[in-house]
Every structure is written in C-alpha cells, then in structure tokens.
C-alpha cells in the first residue's frame, strides 16, 4: 500500500505501478479525455443554440458534476477495505478502519488543489463566454493554442525538455490559431454582434492560456504534494479542484441571479423543458470525464502529453460541430486545421524518435554493464 510505504519512511513520489497497469490507466484516461474533450463543447453549444443564455450557469456545469467522483472513490475504498481484511486477519475492525480512510489527501495537497480549483473556475467562465458567442469549430481551433501555453509553463514550472519536433509543433499550433483571427468574423452566429464575437474570440484565447498554465501547475502540485501519489489520490484532487471551481461559479450565479432564471429558461427552451434538463445533466457528466481524463493523463505521463492529447482531439471536435450543427467551414478554418494536424504529427514523430533513441541508449548501457561484470568475473 502506498500510504503504508509513506508511513514507513520510504521516499515520496508516485505509486509503483506495473507497466501493464500504467498502460491501462493511460488508455482509460485518454478515453475519458476523448469523451469529455469532444462531447463537452458540443453539449455546451447545444445549450446556447436552443435558447440558453446563462454563461455563469454554463461554466458552473463544467465542474458541477464533481459528486459523481464519489462513486469510484467509494468503490476504491471498499476494495482497499477487502484487501486489508485479507492481509491483516488478526487486526481488529477498528484498526482496519483507522488505516483505511475514505479521503487520504493531506493539507499541502488540499491547499494546492483548492487554489488550482479557484483558477479553474475563472477558466470555466472564460471558456463558456467564448462558446456562447463562437461556433464550436472556431472555438475548438482557438483552444488548440493552449498547447503552446502548456509547453511554456511546463518549461518554467516542471523543467520540461523540448526537441526540435515539439518546438515545431508549438509554432504550427500558434500560427494556426493566429490564422483564425484573420477574417473569421464571417462565421459569426446569428444574433451575435461583431463586438460580442471578438470578445468571445479573445476570451477563448485567454481560456486557452489559463488552462495551459493549469496543466503544468497540477503536475508541479503532484511533485510537491508531500504524499505518495496514487490514482485514488488523483480522483480526490479532481473532487477538491472541481468543488472549489464550482464554488467560484456559484458566487457568479448568485450575483447574476441565474438560479431564479433557470426554471423560466427551461420552460422557454427550444427543445422543450425535459430536454433542457437532460442537456444540463449530460453537460455536467461529460465535463467530469474531461477533467478526470486530463489530470489522469498527467498522473500517467506528463502535463505536456495531456496538452498534446487535448489539442490532438480538437480537430475531431471541429469536424463533429460542422456535421452536427451545420457550421460554416471557411478556408481559414481549413488552413488552421491543416497546421494543427501537422503540428500533432510533428510532436508525436519527435516523441517516437526520442523513445527509440532512449531505448538504444539503455540497451548499450546494459550491454556495457554486462561486459564489465564478465571482465570482473574473469
């Protein structure tokens, strides 16, 4: 047990996982991230298209579904309980309960998660503001620029190393986002003024920049949290972050009187009152998949890899938006899409080359060590 190793004075860090388990968790979190990253913007835009107007409420939904995290946490708690009973048969029930807590997060990690949660609340609002005024295909391509911000802050906060391929990918993504700023006013949704459109554009850029900071900040918090990091602890981090982000957005809803407006908005919703609440519920659930997937990928790999996965999925979100919502697909979006895909291919090609180089280096070192041992024995 990771917490027992910590109590026994072993070094802090990440829980020891087998390669197979780590691969499984990485795939699982990539799936969750795919569901959330592709589904979240579409469901949010569906809310606005058919009569939803509450930006604070929409931002609240991005993290308001955090109580669902209690379900896997409860399952994990019961699993640990059964494990301890099978291992420590002679211990009393009271002792077992004392060593198996439902929440294992300590104060440093709690404070860090709360602070990041409040910043996430700000980012939720910026993003919802942009989605309310931009087509999903446009906002998705703008959000692709978050990889550049993630790379910058990963270098500053967690000393992320770069290759020529990753630098090339970042430049391409930034240029792709800049292309969208040229003449994208032509895809302005009906009822959205020119000033509101550009406000949404710059708010979305700000959301990309802020989330680019949040991913390395989470990785740094993992390293400085003074606890052995387990996947259960990652879920606790998710719960605390989303709770404080939701708390921030709740204050905005109270000030904006959104709670009083929700019943009226539901009655007037274009798809009907029942479908209004279905959209709201599914929005909260799908966004939880996104946040848990994002921080889970950081746990299994790194913040930069999480940022790359998020950016790599954005073209698919754009294509789905064009198909589902019949959004315009101008030449600027085509150029931005090509540059984004080129950037993703460049990054992954560089990672594959680096991985092969490291494997060869490890093989040479291993052969050198074997040769030295052979000479010593001889």
The helix/strand/coil state of 302 is: coil
Polymer length of the chain: 378
Q: Please check whether residue 9 lies inside any domain of the structure.
A: no
Whether 3 is in a domain gets the answer: no
Phi-psi group of 13: left, alpha or beta (phi > 0 → left; psi -120 to 50 → alpha; rest → beta):
left
* Cα→Cα distances 39→88, 136, 150, 157, 204, Å: 44, 11, 22, 30, 18
Q: Report if residue 7 sits inside a domain.
A: no
pLDDT of res. 323:
84
Domain count, the chain: 1
Q: How far is it, in rounded angstroms, from Cα 184 to Cα 176? A: 12
Q: Would you state the pLDDT for residue 3?
A: 36
Whether 1 has a pLDDT exceeding 50, the answer reads no
Tell me whether residue 34 is in a domain. Answer: yes
Whether 89 is in a domain gets the answer no
Which residue would you say has higher pLDDT here, 92 or 132?
132
What pLDDT, on a 0 to 100 scale, did the predictor assign at position 7? 34
User: With b meaning 16 or more CB within 10 Å and e meaning fewer, what string describes 262-300?
Assistant: beebbeebeeeeeebeebbebbbbbbbbbbbbbbbbbbb
Q: What is the pLDDT of residues 270-291, one digit of tens each?
A: 999 999 999 999 999 999 999 9
Question: What are the backbone angles phi and psi of residue 14, rounded to the nearest 5°?
Answer: -95, 150
Q: Which residue has the higher pLDDT, 130 or 186?
A: 130
91 falls within a domain: no
Is 1 among the domain residues? no
Q: Looking at per-residue confidence, does 90 or 82 come out higher?
A: 82
Report CA-CA distances (Å) from 222 to 113, 209, 227, 241: 10, 21, 8, 13
Residue 257 main-chain phi, psi, to 5 deg: 60, 40
**Residue 109 falls inside a structural domain:** yes
* Confidence bin at 97 (pLDDT 50/70/90): very low
| pLDDT tens, position by position, 322-368 | 888 877 777 777 777 787 778 777 777 776 777 677 667 666 666 55
DSSP 255-266: HHTHHHHHHHHH
pLDDT tens by residue, 100-151: 677 888 888 999 999 999 999 999 999 999 999 888 877 877 887 787 788 7
Domain that holds residue 58: 22-79+102-361
pLDDT at position 91 is: 52
Measuring CA to CA, which residue among 123, 39, 221 is closest to residue 47?
A: 39
Mean pLDDT within 260-275: 94
Give residue 113's pLDDT. Answer: 94
Report how far residue 252's alpha carbon sits from residue 227's, in angstroms, rounded to the nearest whole number: 34
Mean pLDDT of 15-36: 84
In tens, the pLDDT along 148-179 reads: 788 788 888 877 776 777 778 777 776 776 67
Confidence (pTM): 0.79
Please name the residue ranges forming H helices in the chain.
Answer: 2-7, 19-49, 55-64, 70-87, 93-99, 107-133, 136-143, 146-158, 164-180, 194-224, 231-256, 258-267, 273-300, 303-325, 331-377
- 């913007």: which residue's tokens? 41
């Amino acid at each position: 047990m990771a917490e027992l190793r910590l109590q026994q004075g072993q070094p802090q860090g990440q829980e020891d996982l087998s390669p197979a388990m780590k691969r499984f968790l990485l795939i699982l979190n990539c799936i969750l991230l795919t569901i959330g990253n592709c589904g979240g913007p579409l469901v949010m835009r569906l809310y606005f298209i058919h009569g939803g107007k509450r930006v604070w409420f929409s931002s609240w939904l991005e993290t308001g579904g955090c109580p669902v995290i209690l379900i896997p946490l409860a399952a994990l708690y019961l699993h640990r309980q059964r494990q301890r009973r099978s291992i420590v048969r002679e211990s009393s029930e009271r002792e077992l309960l004392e060593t198996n807590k439902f929440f294992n997060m300590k104060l440093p990690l709690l404070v860090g998660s709360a602070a990041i949660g409040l910043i996430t609340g700000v980012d939720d609002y910026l993003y919802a503001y942009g989605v309310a005024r931009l087509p999903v295909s446009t906002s998705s391509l703008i959000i692709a620029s978050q990889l550049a911000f993630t790379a910058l802050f990963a270098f500053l906060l967690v000393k992320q190393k770069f290759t020529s391929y990753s630098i090339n990918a970042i430049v391409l993504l930034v240029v792709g986002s800049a292309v969208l700023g040229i003449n994208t006013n032509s895809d302005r949704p009906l009822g959205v003024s020119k000033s509101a459109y550009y406000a949404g554009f710059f708010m979305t850029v700000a959301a990309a920049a802020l989330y680019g900071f949040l991913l390395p900040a989470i990785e740094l918090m993992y390293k400085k949290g003074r606890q052995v990091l387990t996947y259960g602890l990652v879920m606790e981090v998710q719960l605390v972050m989303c709770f404080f982000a939701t708390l921030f957005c709740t204050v905005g809803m109270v000030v904006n009187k959104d709670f009083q407006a929700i019943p009226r908005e539901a009655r007037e919703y274009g798809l009907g009152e029942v479908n209004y609440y279905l959209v709201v519920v599914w929005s909260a659930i799908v966004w939880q998949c996104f946040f848990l997937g994002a921080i889970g990928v950081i746990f299994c790999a790194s913040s930069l890899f999480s940022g790359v996965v998020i950016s790599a999925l954005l073209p698919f979100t754009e294509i789905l938006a064009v198909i589902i919502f019949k959004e315009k697909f101008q030449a600027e979006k085509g150029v931005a899409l090509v540059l984004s895909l080129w950037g993703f291919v460049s990054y992954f090609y560089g990672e594959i080359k680096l991985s092969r180089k490291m494997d060869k280096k490890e093989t040479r070192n291993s052969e050198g060590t074997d040769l030295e041992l052979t000479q010593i024995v001889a």
